[in-house]
Homo-oligomer: A and B are copies of this chain.
């Protein structure tokens, strides 16, 4: 399966394991990335919402990207998040990614100020891209209004596509609103629309979408990757349906309690490394009781 869209595939919104001192555990992170690739992920969207990116400083983020590359993950397999509240920091993080050989980044809008105008949102992205000033750059916009509280409206995307047609290549839409995703596919030919909600990937692919960047992939990479590879293969429809059902079940399983903490608990169980349970405040691990309930929930295990 090939596509003119970029990025195109199943990308894991990777968790970030941390040490007892709350600093990123680079070794465990690299191992996790390798496993995700081995299980069939097209690549790793590191340092997104699920990766607790905005709980880390610019220096911590740069260092983790360098560790992933030093650990053998190809720059073409990495989609680091680089969008932060201050456009100067977004520029710094993105330039750093480009300097390491990574060309495609996932970019949140500045997320402190709410109710910003379309002009202001456009200006923030345009100023950032112009400051970076690098033709290699490929930007995936990041629409996650329930967390950023700064939605990216279609008219802003249209203006960005017109001004930066080879740079603003796609969007991660974590709104869960399939109609918004389909509207972008229809309105912006060649624009890569990736869902942040695992269960929607199958439908989206059938309608011209570019894949998924999702959190559940941390525990269900094989199934997501299978759905992605074979969604259009009539001969394997039953297998695709079964894999899709497991994806839906896995997502339901980690949605009972706090999702990110639940994912970390499941990776901790899989790896046997309880260090995976840790989260940097303000996020918190599951309580012992929640964790026990989650782990006992074998009926929904992927």
Q: A-side interface residues toward B, CB under 8 Å?
A: 22, 49, 54-58, 60, 84-89, 92, 109-114, 116-117, 119-121, 123-124, 127, 146-150, 280-284
Contacts and interface: CB of A to CB of B under 8 A. Distances in A.
A119 B55 contact: no
Contacts of A147: 112-114
Q: Which of A85, A109, A147 has the most B CB atoms < 10 Å from its CB?
A: A85
Contacts of A124: 281-282
Contact of A55 (B57, B85, B121): B85
Copies in the complex: 2
Given A54-B110, A85-B85, A112-B147, 4 more contacts: A57-B86, A113-B282, A116-B283, A120-B283
A281 B91 CA distance: 13
Top 8 nearest A-B pairs by Cβ distance? A54-B112, A124-B281, A123-B281, A120-B282, A124-B282, A116-B282, A54-B85, A120-B284
A86 B57 CA distance: 6
A87 B120 contact: no
A160 B19 CA distance: 25
Interface of A is mostly: loop
- Which of A84, A109, A282 has the largest number of chain B CB atoms within 10 A? A282
Given A120-B284, A281-B124, A282-B120, A57 B149 contact: no
12 contacts: A49-B113, A55-B110, A57-B58, A110-B282, A112-B147, A113-B147, A119-B284, A120-B283, A123-B281, A123-B282, A127-B281, A150-B282
A289 to B, nearest CB: 14
A117 B284 contact: yes
Given A57-B88, A86-B54, A147-B113, A127 B284 contact: no
